[in-house]
Structure 1
Amino acid sequence: MAIAALGTVVLDCADPRALAAFYAEILGGRVESDGDDWVTLTGYQGTPLAFQAAPGHTAPEWPSPDSSQQFHLDLTVEDLDTAESRVLALGAKPLDADDRSRSFRVYADPAGHPFCLCAC
């Protein structure tokens, strides 16, 4: 028997509204502010995401043998090339997207959190 259910994935960042808008463009949904330091993405299919202000936030380094990536999101897409061009236009940075033979590509969101686009 489970002890709990996953409620929300919360990403620390310097600018919660901007990062929520980035993910809203990728996943759909609406950005709802719960104050200056907490923003929630609602109205899309999937696990809820929230964005919390973290003054002095330091982005994870990927790949790095000296530090953890902390976590990453796997985002399922129908067409990797189309999705890639769209996330790059939104401000994503490629981390490991050169190998076109794989079924996934790795990027960083504008706050530096790693995420993968994964072919469905």
Structure 2
Amino acid sequence: MWNKLKSLVSDYLKGEELERYESLLYNETAPSIKSCTVCTKQVFDIYSLRAGLPSSLSGKIRGFNKLLKELDKTKDSKIFIHRVSSSNKKLVIFTNCDITRVMGILTFSERKYDEKK
């Protein structure tokens, strides 16, 4: 599954974001991956609320705007959420159930992620 996700993430994260996550995408042979299937409406409701939280509570998380736009317009009733992490990087990747399309990726500030270890 990692190779399939890695390819999709590389296409999705272009430019600066891709460079920040290059070590996770290209140097990790098997990062920790936890996946689950969730109803799209539930994901939209939860992440709409979470996007509104101040960064002092949850750290700086990027990607909410694109994710919420994609969730709002998708016809898929369920999606996959994949939590991918290595020793110092973490991504939450949202895909369709076939894992052929990325709907959004949440990226986390390294400082806040390190504090939660």
TM-score by length of 1: 0.27
Choose between structure 1 and 2: higher helix proportion: 2
Query: TM-score under structure 2 normalisation?
Result: 0.28
Which one has a bigger Cα radius of gyration?
Answer: 1
Pick 1 or 2: higher relative contact order, CA cutoff 8 A, min separation 6.
2
